[in-house]
Structure 1
Amino acid sequence: MRRDLRLDTLKGFLMVWVVYGHIPFNLFFIEKSNFFTALTSCIYFFHMPLFFALSVLFIKSDYKWLVKRVALILLPYVFWFFYENRFLFLENYQLFFEKIIIGNWNSIKSILWFLPALLSLNTFFFVFNLSSRSFKIILLAISILTFCFSSEIALIHNKVPFGIDVAFYLFLLIFLIKYIYENERIIESINFSLILLMIFGSIAILFYFEPIKTITQFHSRIDLAQFSVPATLVGYISFLILNISIFILFLKLNYNKQLAYIGFYSFPIFLMHVIILYKIPELLQFDNLILNIIFLLITFVLSIGVPIILSKLLMRVSDKFKFIGLIK
């Protein structure tokens, strides 16, 4: 099956924002302005939901495919979790296994929370594809109920394993995105002006109507890792419209070669970029603001480029490195 470079372009676009969202400005001695704080808040409205959506567009109804999919998600999760928590494994292996089994952000304190939730979502859609019409309706109803009781679920989110709550919350959104992708006429029927209106309008509505969640130490309107999700009806509808609109926009645009290249390597970038963003500032420090800004920009580029280079080099040594999330 030929790759859809429009989807790779969207992945690349999202990956750039994921890396930006994890920049530790304080390590570069740069104060984050209100504008950049608002920008970070804005990208949380769509960057992870769309990454989840892109992962289920080509799910097959084949158990062999599911086994392979589980391996390609779980093995990188276990490997990189062990890398991040190798000392914990030696000091308290029971706690190590408790954390890896629960697999939500509160348990593992890592961007790796995405992978267990991704596995849950892939499994739900695999079951959905094989189900009867009535059971499909039940799954969609569970997704709607997850929104309806999202404030209550947020209180117990830390105890929910493998991002099951996140997967169910996003299920309806991703079902709609998948349906749109499979029906090109819908994409063709929507013009650019309407798409842009829906994007900026829904962003404005989310900022105006959706309250900031304060259950965890990370206060934000939307942060899937904390299950800070739209809890108001207008916020939920705007959330759906925003993500669907951005998805449609990238399907209507011509693919971008550079972003598509980044998108192709989005998985190794995702797995390694935080390590680079936090390790490099430990090597050098500057007292000059301009130098710190330049240093930050260089680090930002390296956090995208180094995982790509490392992935390509190691995959030349052995294609077995694909089991830790690398790509040739």
Structure 2
Amino acid sequence: MEWELLGIILTGLAALYLWVFRIPYSIPHPLAAKQGRETRFDVLRGFAMVGIVLIHIHSYFQFFHPADQSVIRTTLFFSNLSRFSVPMFILTSAIFLRKKEGYWNSKLKNLVLPYTLASGIGYLVKYNHYNILEFIQFYFLGKVFAPFYFVPLLIQFYVLFYLFDKILTYKLFSRSLLLISLLLNLSSNLGLLDSILPKDYHSISILNYIFFFVFGIYIGLFYEKKDQTTKKGGVSLLFGTLTLLFLFFLILFSFDHVVDFKNHHLVYPIFFFFGVWEILPTFNRKISEWISYIGNNSLFIFLLHPFIIHLMHSVDPYSFGGPILGYIVTLILNVGIPIIIAFTIQKGKSLYRLRHSDER
């Protein structure tokens, strides 16, 4: 709650800064005119996927070395730094969402089916005593592995969009919906809605992320105003100042107060979104392509990485060469192995299509 209120104060200061110095800031649109899809969204998803892995690496190190406080507080810092990840996935998933023919076919094929297979195999691997009712509960609440809650959460948003797409995409209502979703999300984050909702539903409550979903739809509705030029110097100064403030408080909460942040704080993910949006054009192109590739294959990493980190709980991370090297090796394994599997499957599909096209 303290971090949430701190974020609101910092946002207020940022808004005041933009207003006082009359600095316009146009919302970035996913489609750049005459250039096709805006690839920076894929890079953002890549950052988010790596962030999710970093959150779970902290739990892995804490499992083996809870008494090694210097290491645990460092891994906690990287975990807290990565708490933009789930909101970022929700936001970027909403940006390109459209209700069209085959809406559910693509969702079932590309999300529900892989999730069902991963949940079934994961349940057999992780648990010793099997119970069909327990599996059904775990499946619908995303509890087979801790990060799997994201899939039931995302499916709820897809259902919400399918039922109310005309309202959600009606430009006249867009700003009002954005404000309502902000108030709902804030109320949920502050625990004001906990007594209304069933306890088991709290972890997959769409109210925890409703603002990011509506904000993603909002971004998808509006192009940047061509006559609106952003004063780069003022914006850079603003983001630079806020970055220093956020880093200061992240260090304070992680190393001194030892607070493990939640995934659904409001302000930090939005700050990260706009901040990285400004920085990305200066990134090394090769690095951006690699991160974008991770973003494009995020589902493989998301579903397979929990298996890897679960199996690694039988191996002390320090056995890879100490805490620093162990952290790096753990990150590489949890991102690299799913990427290799994704590349192999995609290469196999391409060869299969090529062979069949030659036969025709």
TM over 0.5: yes
Contact 2:87 2:269 in 1 (8 A): no
Task: Tell me, yes or no, if the aligned pair for 2:178 and 2:215 is still in contact at 8 Å.
Answer: no
Per mean C-alpha deviation after superposition, the further-off stretch among 184-193 and 149-158 is 184-193
- Partner-residue secondary structure (3-state), 2:42: helix
Shift of 1:259: 1.6
Q: 2:122 aligns with which of 64, 84, 100?
A: 84
In structure 2, how many angstroms separate the alpha carbons of the residues matched to 1:203 and 1:63?
Answer: 46
Letter matched to residue 8 of structure 1: D
| Aligned-residue identity in percent | 20
Distance 1:100 1:184, change over 3 A: farther
Q: Does 1:258 align with 2:290?
A: yes
Q: Could you say what secondary structure the match of 2:94 adopts?
A: coil
Corresponding residue of 2:39: 5
Match of 1:245 among 274, 283, 298: 274
Tell me how far 1:307 sits from its aligned partner. 0.7
Per-residue Cα deviation, 1:231-255 (whole angstroms, up to 9, x for no partner): xxxxx5x446514423532564455
1:323 paired residue number:
none
Q: What is the CA-CA distance between 1:196 and the residue it aligns to?
A: 6.1
Q: Give the SS at the match of 1:153.
A: coil
SS of residue paired to 1:189:
coil
Q: Distance in 2 between matches of 1:241 and 1:185?
A: 23
Q: Does 1:165 align with 2:207?
A: yes
Q: What is the 5 A alignment of 1:123-202?
A: 123-131=159-167, 139-140=177-178, 142-150=180-188, 151-155=191-195, 156=197, 158-160=199-201, 162-179=204-221, 182-183=223-224, 185=226, 189=230, 191=232, 194-195=235-236, 197-198=238-239, 201=242
8 Å Cα contact 1:61-1:126 kept in structure 2: yes
Distance in 1, matches of 2:156 and 2:231, equals: 32
Is 1:116 aligned with 2:152?
yes
Report the CA distance between 1:127 and its aligned residue.
4.6
Partner of 1:37: 76
Instruction: Give, in angstroms, the shift of residue 313 of structure 1.
Output: 2.0
2:26 maps to what in 1? none
Residue-by-residue CA offset, 1:80-100 (whole Å, 9 max, x unaligned): 111111376973112211232
Q: How many residues align?
A: 295
Q: How far apart are residue 136 of structure 1 and its match?
A: 5.7
Question: 2:21 aligns to what?
Answer: none
- Check whether the contact 2:61–2:72 (CA below 8 A) recurs between aligned residues: no
Displacement of 1:192 in angstroms is 6.3
Deviation of residue 60 (structure 1)?
1.9
> Residue deviations 1:108-166, cap 9 Å, x none?
45211111212222343455543356776775465234235311224536333854323
Letter in 2 for 1:121: F
- TM-score, normalisation: structure 1: 0.71
In 2, the alpha carbon distance for the partners of 1:99 and 1:302 equals 26
In structure 2, distance between residues paired with 1:241 and 1:186: 24
Larger-Rg structure = 2
Confirm or deny that 1:304 pairs with 2:335. Answer: yes
> Any idea what the Cα deviations from partners look like across 1:161-212, whole Å, max 9, x if unmatched?
85432342433433454456x4275996252652563475278469869xx9
Change (3 A) 1:86 1:276: closer
Find the aligned partners of 1:281 and 1:48 in 2 and give their Cα distance.
Answer: 24
The alpha carbon displacement at 1:20 in A equals 1.6
Match in the other structure for 1:293: 324
| Among 33, 37, 52, the residue aligned to 1:18 | 52
Alpha-carbon distance between aligned partners in 2 of 1:66 and 1:176, rounded to the nearest angstrom: 22
- Between the aligned partners of 1:265 and 1:123, the Cα distance in structure 2 is 23
Matches within 5 A, 1:21-100: 21-23=55-57, 24-26=60-62, 29=65, 31=69, 32-44=71-83, 46-86=84-124, 91-100=130-139
Distance 1:91 1:281 in 2: 21
Given the two structures, how large is their TM-score scaled by the length of structure 2?
0.66
Does the 8 Å contact 2:99/2:162 carry over to 1?
Answer: yes
Does structure 1 conserve the Cα–Cα contact (< 8 Å) formed by 2:305 and 2:334?
Answer: yes
Moved more, 200-209 or 75-84: 200-209
